[in-house]
Amino acid sequence: LTPNLSGRVAVVTGASSGMGEATARLLAAHGAAVALLARRAGRLEHLAVDIRAAGGTAVAIPVDVTDSDAVKAAAARVQDELGDASIVFNNAGIMLPNPILDHREDEWATQIDVNVRGAVATIGAFVDQLVETATAGKPADLINTSSIAAQNLFPEFAVYSASKAFVAHLSRHLRMELGAKGVRVSDVAPGGVDTELIDHVTHDGVRAHMAASNEARTVLTGQDIAEVVAFLVALPARVNLQEVVVMPTTQA
């Protein structure tokens, strides 16, 4: 399957690093015009310059997904500058594992704000554009990033895992609701991927344990996830992979 995404507008949240950055590059290389959303404006601008230098179309839109008005303004900019979104990779997220007895209410709130409220705000801001695209007879895709943590149990990961279980179940519901309108909804649930996600972990013991596990095995790359996203959006419009669990071969 060689994706041809010319004419499609792809919105990628969490585009400033990791799997979002890799996916934005790959979708642009396959011909999509990409809107790059995240907070770090410098990283987004650098990526946009790279994509344009390679012959692609990219717009950097710095936004904090926890600010629903700002996400709506970003959606209006996408519509004005590129046209209605046809792909939304709803991928921004943060992982801050810690023992529940540490009472890190700040980190619980941040994970719920970004992974739950941010994911819903992004869907709310772009869903009308996706439906409009589908109504015009063009392919429309909403792809949410959950995690294997949505199904599995990991010590210290209760709030993160629950936030990703929210995303996974939200995706199942929305697939039913939006599928009837021609919008595909998929949930991508990765295992270990080598990105900046682990850099934000503040609990020394948990961070050291995660770093050691990643050292001890081969983990996925952001590019691996990008290839999966490109595959999903290039399938014939009648085919919707509801949930894709992407594991490193050697991860249990």
248 near ligand NDP, judged by CB under 6 A: no
What x/- string results for residues 40 through 59 when contact with ligand NDP is judged by CB under 6 A? x--x----------------
Contact 140, 86 (CB under 8 A): yes
Q: Would you say 159 and 102 are in contact if contact means Cβ atoms under 8 Å apart?
A: no
The smaller minimum CB distance to ligand NDP, of residues 65 and 82, is found at: 65
Contact between 191 and 218 (Cβ < 8 Å): no
Residue with tokens 């014939």: 236
Figure out which of the listed residues 93, 97, 139, 182 binds ligand NDP, where binding follows CB under 6 A: 93
CA 23 to chain CA centroid, nearest Å: 9
Let me know if 160 is a catalytic residue: yes
d(CA 1, CA 235): 8
State the binding string over 8-47 for ligand NDP (x if CB under 6 A, else -). Answer: -----xxxxxxxx-----------------xxx--x----
Return the closest-CA partner of residue 31 out of 13, 58, 61, 59. Answer: 58
Nearest distance in Å: CB 59, ligand NDP: 16
- The residues that are catalytic are 160
The site for ligand NDP (CB under 6 A) is made up of 13-20, 38-40, 43, 64-66, 91-95, 114, 118, 145, 147, 190, 192-193, 195-197, 222
